[in-house]
Chain A
Amino acid sequence: MSGLTQAHSVVAPSTASRRISGAIVIVYAIITMLPLLWIFATGFKSQSDAIAYPPKVFADPSLQGYVNLFTTRSRQTPEYMASLPPPETWYDELVRKQNMVIVGPSKFGARFMNSLIIGFGSTFLAVFLGTLAAYAFSRFRIPLADDLMFFILSTRMMPPIAVAIPIYLMYRELGLSDTRLGMIILYTAVNVSLAVWLLKGFIDEIPREYEEAAMIDGYTRLQAFRKVVLPQAATGIAATAIFCLIFAWNEYAFAVLLTSGEAQTAPPFIPIIIGEGGMDWPAVAAGTTLFLIPIVVFTVLLRKHLLRGITFGAVRK
């Protein structure tokens, strides 16, 4: 051994490898985030800037897209416009500059509300049912447990859209077409298998002794489940809830097929916002931006759990 030999860790990455991996992460982040940034920027462009060629990276900011998203408007003659009293609000003024008047709210608010109710409703149901089922599979001797678990998983072995026609016909017969309840049931059914499998893994990791100790200490099994198992499974439940919500929130195919009016969610609604002479791209971009907010907030709130949850069980504590 020469005196020049330097001690270096075999576990910690070297400076060079850290730089390379850092660069890869940054490039990948740019590629993934660029479309999102473009959508965000387009939401604040005017109609003409949005479709300009070559594309305008920087344009005069405009709230026209957001105003169009939330309103329905009609074009009027210059004589009529002149006869109106002065505009009362900033968005009135913005619309009138294009020789139009606001005739009422758009359907975006209602569609967004549908998305919230159906997304969070089905997520809650899937996680609730999934937790109970996973606990049962984890703790009780259930006849044919392995086969049942496989059966539950098998519902995810084909794309859900493969059964779209039967579901469409069934829903029409049952009167569930274009209802919020119908969509909640459908998304719950798709998500519950994921929830059972994910949560069983988490609950298996919680030692039985905790419940046994609680039951000896005077608690019933259900009370022990609530007081001891649920708090410790919180991480897994949060992670599962995020996955379920992302699916239900973004789901497009069934939403197009089964909802058209009352229960329509935002995903099929946003792309068909038509303005004068074609797509109203700023309004579409504005709708998409707003549509991203709830899931970003939900994920950020549960982020700590999510990170721990995905890696949970990899290392025995």
Chain B
Amino acid sequence: MAEVRIDLVSKAFGTIQAVEDLSLTVADGEFVVLLGPTGAGKTTTLRLVAGLEKPDHGRISIGGRDVTGLPPAERDVAFVFQQYSLYPHLSVYENLAFPLRSPTRRVPEDQIKATVTRIATMLRIAHKLENRATRLSGGEMQRVAIGRALVRRPSIYLMDEPLSSLDAKLRGELRLELKRIQVELGVTILYVTHDQIEAMTMASRVGVMEEGRLVQVGTPREIYENPATVYVATRLGQPAINLVPPSVLPQVATPPGTATIGARTEHLDIRRADGGTGTGIVARIEHLGDQNHLHLDVAGHHLVTLTESDIALDVGDRVNLDVRGALFFGADGRRIAA
């Protein structure tokens, strides 16, 4: 394990600037998640660290060693691809043993067997070792893909949306498992996802990416509570943060220059208004089971908030909104202190 430093790295594909002046340090033993939508440059960043792409500018070092010009094999990294990329012509065992059998490593066969068995047991795929890699379920394939990285102890594990092609239940299970393994083994991981729950639950730190740039880096809590821009604020929170102009919520005292108020569920307090005096109208109620999504119509703007499932409100009811601790953003999208 080692510290990984990315210094002002840029990469363009033709006229498309995939990554621009990106700097990030992943400390030893840290779990850093790059969060952003498709096309934000997350995967390119990962491929740059792996050596699958060469940066146009900038420098990448792993454990203090400059690896910018080195081929992937000499960087001591492991990569988990989004599409599993298990070798279809090999068995599960051979897939897991493949990195250890590389000519640069020359691990003795009995040691390979021990390692593969240990990792397979940890990932609960030990009973599938003799199967063809293609004869597995999606969850099992993904475990093998993760296992193929874990059989080695590289400086850093690079993971590109490894859970994205799984169903929700499996994703939840593997998320916990991955975090447990990371803590247990104390490994360094740079992880790419567009799933905010993965970012929130697994990351030591989250880096939010927008159009090739790293907009904000911080702990999940910092990113959630203190987003630097509107863009970052919209990446986290379920339901998504409500963004409205100040005129919609005149009861809120806004600092000068405020163009947008960002109000999350926990910032909103909703009370039924008696006698038709309220500023909002309940437009729709979505029952989620334990909670409800409450859709409000406030001065022509649409707001969504979470409520208890037993709330005594019906569609068409008028409500009053109290706003506490909302976020304020200027016309350029930057955060303005309250």
Q: B83–A207 contact, CB under 8 A?
A: yes
Q: A217–B98 contact, CB under 8 A?
A: yes
Residues of A within 8 A of B85 (CB): 207, 209-210, 212-213
Q: Is A216 in the interface zone, CB < 8 Å from B?
A: yes
Q: B105–A216 contact, CB under 8 A?
A: no
Q: Is A3 in the interface zone, CB < 8 Å from B?
A: no
Task: Give which listed residue, B88, B104, B148, contacts A218 with CB less than 8 A.
Answer: B104
User: How close is B45's CB to chain A, nearest CB, in angstroms?
Assistant: 15
Q: B88–A212 contact, CB under 8 A?
A: no
- Bound form: Cα–Cα A60–B52 in Å: 72
Q: A215–B73 contact, CB under 8 A?
A: yes
Residue of A nearest to B105 (CB): A218
Q: A232–B79 contact, CB under 8 A?
A: no
Residues of B within 8 A of A220 (CB): 71, 73, 103
Q: Is B127 in the interface zone, CB < 8 Å from A?
A: no
Q: Is A295 in the interface zone, CB < 8 Å from B?
A: no
Residues of B within 8 A of A228 (CB): 87
Given contacts A216-B79, A228-B87, are A223 and B72 in contact (CB under 8 A)?
no
Q: Interface size on B (CB < 8 Å)? A: 24
Given contacts A216-B50, A216-B72, A218-B104, are A232 and B83 in contact (CB under 8 A)?
no
Task: Give which listed residue, A212, A214, A231, contacts B89 with CB less than 8 A.
Answer: A231
Chain B CB count within 10 A is highest, among A207, A213, A219, A220, for A213
Q: A232–B72 contact, CB under 8 A?
A: no
- Bound form: Cα–Cα A227–B75 in Å: 21
Residue of A nearest to B84 (CB): A209
Residue of B nearest to A209 (CB): B85
User: How close is A228's CB to chain B, nearest CB, in angstroms?
Assistant: 6
Given contacts A231-B89, A232-B88, are A215 and B72 in contact (CB under 8 A)?
yes
- Bound form: Cα–Cα A232–B86 in Å: 12
Residues of B within 8 A of A227 (CB): 98
Residues of B within 8 A of A213 (CB): 79, 81, 85, 148
Q: A212–B52 contact, CB under 8 A?
A: yes
Residue of B nearest to A215 (CB): B72
Q: Is B99 in the interface zone, CB < 8 Å from A?
A: yes
- Bound form: Cα–Cα A231–B102 in Å: 17
Q: Is B26 in the interface zone, CB < 8 Å from A?
A: no
Residues of B within 8 A of A210 (CB): 85, 87
Q: A216–B78 contact, CB under 8 A?
A: yes
Residue of A nearest to B90 (CB): A231
- Bound form: Cα–Cα A160–B166 in Å: 54
Q: Is B34 in the interface zone, CB < 8 Å from A?
A: no
Within 8 A of B (CB), among A183-238: 207, 209-210, 212-220, 223, 227-228, 231-232
Q: Is B319 in the interface zone, CB < 8 Å from A?
A: no
- Bound form: Cα–Cα A227–B90 in Å: 10
- Measured CB to CB, the residues of B under 8 A from A are 50-52, 71-73, 75, 77-79, 81, 83, 85, 87-89, 98-99, 102-105, 148, 152
Starting from the known contacts A223-B102, A227-B98, 8 additional A-B residue pairs (CB-CB under 8 Å) come to A212-B52, A212-B72, A213-B79, A216-B52, A216-B73, A216-B78, A218-B102, A218-B104
The 6 A-B residue pairs whose C-beta atoms are closest, nearest first, are A218-B102, A217-B99, A209-B85, A231-B89, A218-B104, A216-B72
8 A-B residue pairs with CB within 8 Å: A209-B81, A212-B85, A216-B50, A216-B52, A218-B99, A218-B103, A219-B103, A232-B87
